[in-house]
A and B are shown apart, each in its own frame.
Chain A
């Protein structure tokens, strides 16, 4: 079946009224999650995961993915109207977006952000349609050594791209991989670190760890007294940008879409990194770089397009290789597995309705988001008026329900609380919890493929260097490590150090 026929099959699934409804629900929740600072898409997806158990796989994944890319749209609202990034990926938008709002161009900034997000999201899905199936077909050649090398590359790429230092990221990834070894060893049946707790026999779930680290951990680190909100109400009559603003936005949207998609393919916080890179590129290419920070249209159009394209790009390795590039795609993979659909190269051929239905729903979802985000911006702004003292207890309640309902296990909820406290402490010491979640997700596959590789080679480690694909992937690992070591030795600030400084300074970045 060709791409066009497959896409038509996808649209026949995605345009069914019930699938449309769940796509809409996901986009709506995603926008609200994006609008509200402190509640990320990961918490939103994890909390709603149990509510998808009664649905079929396509509807579940369509809704959960809608939350992810919907949150990228919603994040720009708080950035532009309040100078608070609803999502980390909207940090750059708040610089020029808020400056535009102060000049009375809040409506235009919101419109450019929404249209840029739509163009980039649609471009991302188009590329996903073209790239994912051939990549999946190629990945069918992968055996255990290739998977081992690919997963190691994923971790090293994550560490290299991370804005914190390489040892910090690898340290967190190791901790995640170690947590992933808890439970019964699938090859020998040994119990590992389960301390006679029956529930730990199945290992530690992704959902309690992710919700604890990112949901509860964020709440514990945010005292309610520090949350002060000053909302600029947009004048909806001035929602449409003028011709000059459209002209200034066109090329940054195009460049942001391409850049964001390419960055989105790589492991790490791609949607965050892409918006920083796009802002830097636009400032460098601008005829009047001095306008950046004072309400430059390109400073809104570029980063907003880039973070949306990146969130779509992240679905390529997830769907084609079964490789999560971050904690959000990891939870989406978990959702597929809960529904009995193994992610990876076989997904396209064995579950074409799920794969193509999901892809087609993203075309529709992006259109829904455009329709939702512009006329209803006033409604979403009202959500911001809920005092944080009332909001965070609500989030804690949903965290508890969300985690408990996955397995009806109270042990999982305790794990969430422990991870929440751990997340609070990790933040205090500047350690990023994202590599920990990624390590936890890939740990069983990495261990299994490593041991299978050694068994099939009769204990010969050189098997990883005797097979072309594995050798190429490992060569890339060494190259990245060498680059990281070089920059460490030189002691010079490269783009990653500057990114870390910018992230730490949030909106004060100039």
Chain B
């Protein structure tokens, strides 16, 4: 039976191997003058060892099938909306991007009333803008629109 630690340990050991493969051109150096590759290769090897150790002792963990993924669709929607906001943050600026981010999450993802979602989004963005730009004198990203 595949258990959660088989998957976690295996994935992290594979990551360690990938790092080792990517470290080919980094010199290990000598003991008296260690090179740039010494520490990363040592750590990647330890990652493989501990990953395998976790997989070997996996009987202590729950079966992989028992890991609940019920919250995954919600998490994916939130992550996707956040990703889109990040992609447009420098172009559209703080006010537009964050206003849309809040509105889409509250109305689109959480299915709240559009008017209250819009009012909340506009109010929060305006307050934050005033707080950072005026009170704290830390200008937020203006974007192409200039605010």
Query: Is A175 at the interface (CB under 8 A from chain B)?
Result: yes
A-B contact pairs, 5 of them (CB 8 A): A51-B132, A174-B50, A224-B110, A413-B89, A430-B61
Q: How far is the CA of A363 from the CA of B98 in the complex (A)?
A: 38
**Residues 37-78 of A at the B interface (beta carbon under 8 Å):** 50-51, 53-54
Query: Is A245 at the interface (CB under 8 A from chain B)?
Result: no
Query: Is B105 at the interface (CB under 8 A from chain A)?
Result: yes
On chain A, the residues within 8 Å of B92 by CB distance are: none
Give min CB distance, B73 to chain A, whole Å. Answer: 9
Q: Which of B36, B102, B141 contacts A397 (CB 8 A)?
A: B102
Q: How far is the CA of A424 from the CA of B36 in the complex (A)?
A: 32
Query: Is B118 at the interface (CB under 8 A from chain A)?
Result: no
Query: Is A2 at the interface (CB under 8 A from chain B)?
Result: no
Query: Is B112 at the interface (CB under 8 A from chain A)?
Result: yes
Q: Which of B31, B47, B110, B124 contacts A454 (CB 8 A)?
A: B31
Mask for A481-505, Cβ within 8 A of B = 1, else 0? 0000000000000000000000000
Query: Is A351 at the interface (CB under 8 A from chain B)?
Result: no
Q: Which of A171, A181, A226, A451 contacts B12 (CB 8 A)?
A: A171
**Residues 28-55 of B at the A interface (beta carbon under 8 Å):** 30-40, 43-44, 46-47, 50-51, 53-54
Q: A54-B138, A181-B43, A405-B140 are in contact. List 11 more A-B contacts (CB 8 A).
A: A54-B136, A167-B57, A171-B54, A220-B71, A223-B71, A225-B74, A389-B110, A396-B78, A396-B82, A400-B98, A420-B79
- CB within 8 Å of A: which residues of B? 4-5, 7-9, 12, 15, 19, 22-23, 26-27, 30-40, 43-44, 46-47, 50-51, 53-54, 57, 60-61, 67, 69-71, 74-75, 78-79, 82-83, 85-86, 89-90, 94, 98, 101-102, 105-106, 110, 112, 120, 124, 128, 132, 136-138, 140-141
Q: How far is the CA of A237 from the CA of B32 in the complex (A)?
A: 71
Q: How far is the CA of A450 from the CA of B54 in the complex (A)?
A: 27
Mask for A173-197, Cβ within 8 A of B = 1, else 0? 0110110010001011010110000
Asked if residues B34 and A53 are in contact (CB atoms below 8 Å), the reply is no
Asked if residues A51 and B19 are in contact (CB atoms below 8 Å), the reply is no
Q: Which of A193, A224, A404, A461 contacts B74 (CB 8 A)?
A: A224
Give min CB distance, A183 to chain B, whole Å. Answer: 11
Q: How large is the interface on A (under 10, 10 to 19, 20 to 34, 35 or more residues)?
A: 35 or more
Q: Which of A175, A417, A451 contacts B34 (CB 8 A)?
A: A451
Asked if residues B89 and A400 are in contact (CB atoms below 8 Å), the reply is yes
On chain B, the residues within 8 Å of A429 by CB distance are: 4-5, 7-8, 67
A216-B82 contact given A404-B89, A410-B90, A431-B8, CB 8 Å threshold? yes
Asked if residues A167 and B120 are in contact (CB atoms below 8 Å), the reply is no
Asked if residues A397 and B98 are in contact (CB atoms below 8 Å), the reply is yes
Give min CB distance, B34 to chain A, whole Å. Answer: 5
Asked if residues B22 and A193 are in contact (CB atoms below 8 Å), the reply is yes
**Residues 315-332 of A at the B interface (beta carbon under 8 Å):** none
Asked if residues B86 and A168 are in contact (CB atoms below 8 Å), the reply is no
Q: How far is the CA of A455 from the CA of B31 in the complex (A)?
A: 8
Asked if residues B106 and A393 are in contact (CB atoms below 8 Å), the reply is yes
A401-B67 contact given A181-B43, A410-B86, A459-B31, CB 8 Å threshold? no
Query: Is A458 at the interface (CB under 8 A from chain B)?
Result: yes
Q: How far is the CA of A350 from the CA of B62 in the complex (A)?
A: 52
Asked if residues A192 and B40 are in contact (CB atoms below 8 Å), the reply is yes
A390-B43 contact given A417-B82, A431-B8, CB 8 Å threshold? no
**Residues 390-413 of A at the B interface (beta carbon under 8 Å):** 390, 392-394, 396-398, 400-401, 404-405, 408, 410, 413
On chain A, the residues within 8 Å of B4 by CB distance are: 428-430
Sort A-B residue pairs by CB-CB distance and give the 3 closest, nearest first.
A459-B31, A459-B32, A190-B36
Asked if residues A390 and B50 are in contact (CB atoms below 8 Å), the reply is no
Asked if residues B26 and A190 are in contact (CB atoms below 8 Å), the reply is yes
